A and B are shown apart, each in its own frame.
Chain A
């Protein structure tokens, strides 16, 4: 019933004896915007390269519209890639770059010219057709790279951290534009990034990866609001992740204090990970808070203050629109809805790994 365009079936891949992907399963539906999100080395780029045909998996199969394409070379796949480093052909003009794939397909001159002007219009680069890539800015080069890929009308467009080299403002602009392009051309996008904000903004579905396995899959909202383990919680947005004890349904004990929550179905006195987003913590007078601590630092972030409150051994991160006094004793409260309880990880792979970047 579901229109699956691409399926990875138990794909595994090692480099130099190190397992990058472990029995990786993924289904991508037609016209979906899927983002593979994770820290560097999590296997997301390798996954993309396997879909593109640049790497051959050690085991497992890649199915495209139901057909096994595992050993098909990149030029025979109905898939195009937008590379991280743009990879435009430096000795060709913008128009020649875009025409490259079409010429190989032996399209008529008229068809190619029409396609070039259509694609340049789509990426807002109409007046640049005769320029050489070296004379373009990073953002412009990336637009050309996108145009070059989509004129071939691939069934799937693969994007490997395409905005990674751009500055923040340009990145936001390009994010909006990518969504617009996606709507216009109506092809499946598989997007790879380590930028969680980018993933949350653009995707229909996010696949959070770490150490070659999928940690969680779902919409932006479900991933942000209901992380399934500490890795996801830590990777997506800022989080306070702290040990807790589930006293009974709807009651969790953190730092010796019983706090009402909305979670049920855990074992009595089960050790759990508790995730609380910094924006969900509210600073109140010391006596009124569940948790009492001292303000140790405050940083102005523009839209809010980032405040660190030390309670016991743990430093809580709080986002507040009101400043606080360093050294002051304060209380922290939280609504039951905003507490996310997670089972302790069973395997080492699911554990929180700090990102190096």
Chain B
């Protein structure tokens, strides 16, 4: 009896957490299909808001800017981050610790500080615009890449590099053929992390974007000032679904690989 009560309580608690986490999102998704501007009345199912959304050039522009920015900044940050991680790993103990501390600081630092600092810097050297936002995103993405690649580098079996050289491979070939594949899961994870961080960012983007450039988050913020439009629900739903799908892919891929063994 006591066991059953315990069991019930633990299940109830779990359900409660899930409800609190996901109910608001569920409501948002439902509202995106609501054929009524009201937030409390169900006016029937519609895809109208999605239509409105896709015919809104401003929103579409912002969407492409966001995706382009995320892909570019994540790609460049991955390249720099992997090289940096390899370099840091090769350092002596002291340098290693110092560099890892410098890597951690931007992640812990308040976004607003990073945002304003970058803005001040950019204003001095270049007009604010897509390039400055891109540079800002690359900057805050690099630490995420380094941190997700670093454990892989530590686990990496360096002797396979010697084995490859022993079997006749040149240094470059050996690196790409046997060292890089070992880091691949970390690199992919780092890239996706950087990608979502970039998609997600509001504060730093807001301060470094200048006039005329808008990502989804800054645009939604601007729209909100004029009142919430239902197409925003549709947009948010799409973003949520995309991120959710990405998450599934990332979690599912490594498992599939293991099965192949």
Contact = CB atoms under 8 A, between A and B. Distances in A.
B165 A73 contact: yes
Given A131-B261, A132-B261, A135-B261, A88 B167 contact: no
B261 A52 contact: no
B166 interface: yes
A134 interface: yes
Contacts of B182: 90-91
Interface stretch (A100-108, A280-288, A344-352): A100-108
A134 B178 CA distance: 15
A128 B257 CA distance: 18
Nearest to B173: A104
B168 A91 contact: no
Contact of B163 (A81, A104, A135): A81
Interface string A35-78: 00000000000000000111000000000000000000111000
A224 interface: no
Interface in A69-115: 73-75, 79-81, 83, 85, 87-91, 100-101, 104-105
A85 B157 contact: yes
Nearest to B161: A87
B178 A74 contact: no
Nearest to A145: B163
Interface in B153-177: 157, 159-160, 162-170, 173, 177
Contacts, number: 66
A134 B261 contact: yes
Interface residues of A, number: 27
B165 A75 contact: yes
B181 interface: yes
Given A90-B182, A91-B182, A101 B162 contact: no
A79 B169 CA distance: 13
A104 B166 CA distance: 11
Contacts of A85: 157, 159
B256 to A, nearest CB: 14
B160 A104 contact: no
A88 B181 CA distance: 13
Interface in A115-148: 131-132, 134-135, 148
Contact of A54 (B157, B162, B178, B184): B162
B160 A87 contact: yes
A233 B159 CA distance: 34
A104 B260 CA distance: 26
A52 B260 CA distance: 34
Contacts of B167: 75, 80, 100-101, 104, 148-149, 152
Given A132-B261, A134-B261, A135-B261, A89 B178 contact: yes
With most chain B CB atoms within 10 A of its CB, the pick from A81, A89, A131 is A89
A83 B261 contact: no
A80 B166 contact: yes
Contacts of A74: 162, 165-166
B8 to A, nearest CB: 42
A89 B170 contact: no
Contacts of A73: 165
A83 B182 CA distance: 19
A75 B162 contact: no
A87 B163 contact: yes
B106 to A, nearest CB: 32
A89 B261 contact: no
B169 A83 contact: no
A104 B157 contact: no
A78 to B, nearest CB: 10
A101 B170 CA distance: 11
Nearest to A74: B165
A81 B160 CA distance: 11
Given A101-B168, A104-B169, A105-B168, A89 B163 contact: yes
A54 B166 CA distance: 9
Contact of A91 (B169, B170, B173, B181): B181
B159 A75 contact: no
Given A83-B163, A89-B177, A104-B173, 20 more contacts: A54-B162, A73-B165, A75-B165, A75-B166, A75-B169, A81-B163, A87-B157, A87-B160, A87-B162, A88-B160, A88-B163, A89-B163, A89-B164, A89-B178, A90-B182, A100-B164, A104-B169, A134-B261, A135-B261, A149-B167
9 contacts: A75-B169, A75-B170, A81-B162, A81-B163, A87-B162, A89-B163, A91-B181, A101-B168, A148-B167
Interface of B: 157, 159-160, 162-170, 173, 177-178, 181-182, 184, 260-261
- The 8 A-B residue pairs with the shortest CB-CB distance, nearest first, are A101-B167, A87-B163, A87-B159, A74-B165, A104-B168, A91-B181, A132-B261, A75-B168
